[in-house]
Homo-oligomer: A and B are copies of this chain.
């Protein structure tokens, strides 16, 4: 073999920040200020953590879970656990106790590293988790919580140790082992809106390639010169891979911990000269509201890009950030099963768009985007025939490539895969320019009189009304048409009347697509990943005995 067969191990990328930018900072928000460390310190502490875990018996392939906010100790776990050959299992702190217990047992977690304020989430698990030997607790206030911990330890039947005590005195060097590049690296469970949560086991190879891909100019456009604030939780699909990419590039990292109000985030952006941030649309709606209320309060001169994912942001919001602040919102689409970034839409994503007028530049930005180099996407009918990329045909979106899941961890679920492709569960069109346009989650589509209605298009259209804060469109059973759409709306003010909303819909949709009803609520339930939980909306309507109005 004429070229080196160096395995694609994540340690080859993650040690780079401490080498290239030893003095660059990792800043974590605390109750009273910030905790600051350099990459040099972070690298030494990650190695101490690895030595402590090794002393605690953690070997290659063993699962080490985290139940943590975005913070410097979580980042140390991101570095240490995969590099030492163990598996980083990021627990979603918003799961129900039942799901949490299921996931911990299914993964076989031996150690859990938890932020002190989240620790109470483990109390209800007493008696139902059996394999956990140790819980490592991270406190921002080193004096706090000792008594509580003792009672929790005895309830859970495991040892509870303070994080700093756990790593104290451990050697600051650790020779990361040579591994097969297909060794497991990290484990994330999907939020499981149907059935039990399913685990996706990333490998060194898959995460290595994903990390390189998101650092490309045309994807997330990350650079060593950035000050990056990852708001997307590190317990969601590996924080979109940003912690790994930052450790590769050596950019400044700014981590909000549990302090995620719009004001706190904006204070952080201004104080730490954040250049690039990443979060779900609801975060950016909140930040926008704060900026609108106090337009002169924050100096955001350094901020140039916001990456938005998790669900489709309204076009009107993308425009607002660009027109008002000159900030580009980079939209991405992906899922836990895709490591997670699979497509990216930028304001100007191709050379043919560079000469366009401002309005036209936004023609593609609220699409899911163009597939990343190395991946393939396609849309398929129910018999898995490929459908054309003509912007008209609607089919199930399938994706394949070297950072796409091929089976769930210890739960293969072959019906979620087809002939080497992942069946995403999203329904989409692909236009002739190859932009993927997500029409709906397959299970949220509304089938009325044999025709499909996309809830997502309608929701974005309604949410663009100035008086509307949020809108969900769900199917309700209908004796004649099988299903009919109903809009559930959170209003900002009285301008968002039923009549105004329906008239607004009539301006853009066919008559048969317009919702049969508009229901006003004080809020819309969200999933643990921040998306509108339409399953719960439908369940609530059923529980209330909701009936469609008779429009005959």
Contacts and interface: CB of A to CB of B under 8 A. Distances in A.
Interface of A: 1-6, 8, 12-13, 16, 19-21, 23-24, 182, 184, 200-203, 205-206, 208-209, 212-213, 215-218, 221-227, 248-252, 339, 348-354, 370, 373-374, 376, 400-409, 420, 422, 433-434
Given A19-B434, A213-B212, A249-B373, A24 B352 contact: yes
Contacts of A409: 2
A154 to B, nearest CB: 36
11 contacts: A4-B400, A4-B403, A12-B376, A13-B374, A16-B373, A20-B370, A212-B373, A215-B216, A216-B217, A217-B221, A225-B350
A13 B216 CA distance: 14
Contact of A3 (B19, B351, B404): B404
Given A16-B373, A213-B212, A374-B13, A2 B184 contact: yes
Contacts of A223: 217-218
Given A6-B402, A24-B350, A215-B216, 11 more contacts: A3-B182, A3-B206, A3-B403, A3-B406, A4-B400, A20-B370, A21-B352, A218-B223, A225-B353, A225-B354, A249-B373
B352 A405 contact: no
Closest 4 CB pairs of A and B: A2-B201, A3-B206, A6-B402, A217-B223
B212 A374 contact: yes
A41 B147 CA distance: 73
A348 B225 contact: yes
A488 B207 CA distance: 52
Contacts of A249: 218, 373
A350 B420 contact: no
A4 B210 CA distance: 13
A513 to B, nearest CB: 32
Contacts of A248: 373
A109 to B, nearest CB: 17
A420 B5 CA distance: 9
A538 B133 CA distance: 71
A373 B24 CA distance: 17
A405 B202 contact: no
Nearest to A354: B225
Contacts of A434: 19-20
Contacts of A224: 218, 349-351
B2 A225 contact: no
Contacts of A217: 215-217, 221-223
